[in-house]
Amino acid sequence: MKFPLTTKLSGVSYGDCQANIKQFGCPDTGYYILIREPDNPHDGQAISVSLGGVWKMGYIPRWLAKDLAPQMDAGKEFDAEFVRRNEHPTEELVGLTVQIVETTEN
């Protein structure tokens, strides 16, 4: 897996994610943090994407989290950078595309 890697977030319709994306899903936000959720009852490899550890934006898709979670568990650090807010002209649901970058210091 090569970084940076661009992906759409999943789980954007849960909890406050929609409101958070509408408020904080913009270029001025810059970086979001990735938070491992090993105790997540739906997926033990879950990785949430959050602004400041407070405002959850969604989740790294499972196909990517299955490879990224073990790296995070081994001590590697990653951030997610805003790429674009995904909007549809006739739907209220919004999404978020981010670029995953490794931030581990050598």
Whole-angstrom distance, CA of residue 43 vs CA of residue 5: 21
Domain residue ranges in the chain: 9-102
Whole-angstrom distance, CA of residue 82 vs CA of residue 92: 20
Residue 101: beta bridge partners?
A: 79
User: What CATH topology corresponds to 9-102?
Assistant: Alpha-Beta Plaits (3.30.70)
**Helix or strand or coil: residue 14?**
coil
- DSSP line for 68-92: HHHHHHTT--EEEEEEEEE--TT-S
Predicted TM-score of the model (pTM)? 0.94
Strands 78-86 and 46-51: unpaired
Tens-digit pLDDT profile for residues 41-78: 999 999 999 999 999 999 999 999 999 999 999 999 99
